[in-house]
A and B are shown apart, each in its own frame.
Chain A
Amino acid sequence: MRKFCTGNHAAGYVLAAAGEANRNARGCVAGGYPITPQTEIMEFLRGFRFTKGRVQAVESEHSAMAMCIGGSISGARTFTASSSNGLMYMAENVFMAGYCRLPVVLAAVNRTIGPPWNIWVDQGDTLALRDTAWLHFYCESHQEVADTILLAFRVAEDSRILLPAIVAFDGFIISHTSAPVDLPEQADVDRYLPPCHVPHRLDHDRPQMLGAMVTPEDTAAHRLELHEAMERVPAVLEQARDEFREVFGRQPDGAISGYRLEDAETVLVASNSIASTVRGVVDKRRRDGERVGMLKIKLFRPFPRHLIRQALKGAKRVGVIDRNVSLGSGGIFWLEICGALFNTPDLILQDYLTGLGGGDVTPEAVENILEDLLARRKSGEPCWKVKAYERMF
Chain B
Amino acid sequence: MKTEVNQTCCCDALAPGRRVLRAGNTNCPGCGMSLALHWLGRALPDQPMTLCIPAGCAVVTAGAYPTTAYGVPAVATTFASAAAVAAGIRIVENLNNDPGLTFCFAGDGATYDIGTACISAAAERDEDIIYICYDNEIYGNTGGQRSSATPQNAVTTTTPSGKRRIKKDMMKIIIAHHVPYAATLSLAHTDDFVRKVRQAASVRGFRFLLIHSPCPTGWKSDPEESVELDRLAVSTGLFPLYEVFEGRRFRINVKPDFTPPGEYFSRQGRFPKVIADPELASRHIREEWDHLERMAATFPAD
Contact = CB atoms under 8 A, between A and B. Distances in A.
So, do A and B actually touch in the complex, CB under 8 Å?
Answer: yes
Interface of A: 26-27, 29, 31, 52-54, 56, 58-60, 62-76, 78, 92-93, 96, 202-204, 207-215, 218
Interface in B14-72: 48, 50, 52, 59-60, 62-65, 68, 70-72
A67 B87 contact: yes
Given A209-B76, A212-B68, A60 B117 contact: yes
A204 B118 contact: no
A209 B70 contact: yes
B170 interface: no
A197 to B, nearest CB: 14
Contact of A54 (B78, B84, B89, B95): B95
Residue from B63, B85, B88 having most chain A Cβ neighbours under 10 A: B88
A66 B81 contact: yes
B92 A26 contact: yes
A54 B121 contact: no
B138 to A, nearest CB: 20
A324 B199 CA distance: 55
B65 A74 contact: no
Contacts of B92: 26-27, 29, 70-71, 74-76
A210 B66 CA distance: 11
A94 B117 CA distance: 19
A73 B62 CA distance: 18
Nearest to B90: A70
Contacts of A53: 95
Nearest to B48: A204
A220 B81 CA distance: 26
Given A52-B95, A66-B118, A71 B73 contact: no
21 contacts: A56-B91, A59-B117, A62-B84, A63-B81, A63-B118, A64-B84, A67-B85, A67-B88, A69-B88, A70-B75, A70-B87, A92-B78, A96-B77, A204-B50, A208-B68, A209-B73, A210-B74, A211-B77, A213-B62, A213-B64, A214-B65
A71 B85 CA distance: 7
Contact of A63 (B73, B84, B96, B100): B84
Nearest to A95: B78
B63 A212 contact: yes
A212 B78 contact: no
The 4 closest A-B CB pairs, nearest first, are A70-B88, A66-B81, A59-B121, A211-B76
Q: How large is the interface on B (under 10, 10 to 19, 20 to 34, 35 or more residues)?
A: 35 or more
A111 to B, nearest CB: 23
A31 B65 contact: no
B86 A70 contact: yes
A203 B48 CA distance: 10
Nearest to B53: A209
B235 to A, nearest CB: 37
Nearest to A212: B62
B282 interface: no
A190 to B, nearest CB: 18
Contact of A73 (B63, B75, B83, B117): B75
Contacts of B165: none
B195 to A, nearest CB: 25
Given A63-B83, A211-B77, 8 more contacts: A27-B95, A56-B91, A59-B121, A62-B84, A69-B75, A207-B74, A210-B75, A213-B63
B263 interface: no
A93 B72 contact: no
B80 interface: yes
Nearest to B76: A211
Nearest to A54: B91
Contacts of A62: 78, 80-81, 84, 118
A371 to B, nearest CB: 49
B225 interface: no
B126 to A, nearest CB: 12
B50 A202 contact: yes
B78 A58 contact: no
A31 B120 CA distance: 16
B125 interface: yes
A60 B87 CA distance: 14
B127 to A, nearest CB: 8
A74 B95 CA distance: 11
Contact of B70 (A66, A67, A207): A207
B228 interface: no
A74 B96 CA distance: 10
A213 B60 CA distance: 7
Nearest to B60: A213
Contacts of A210: 74-76
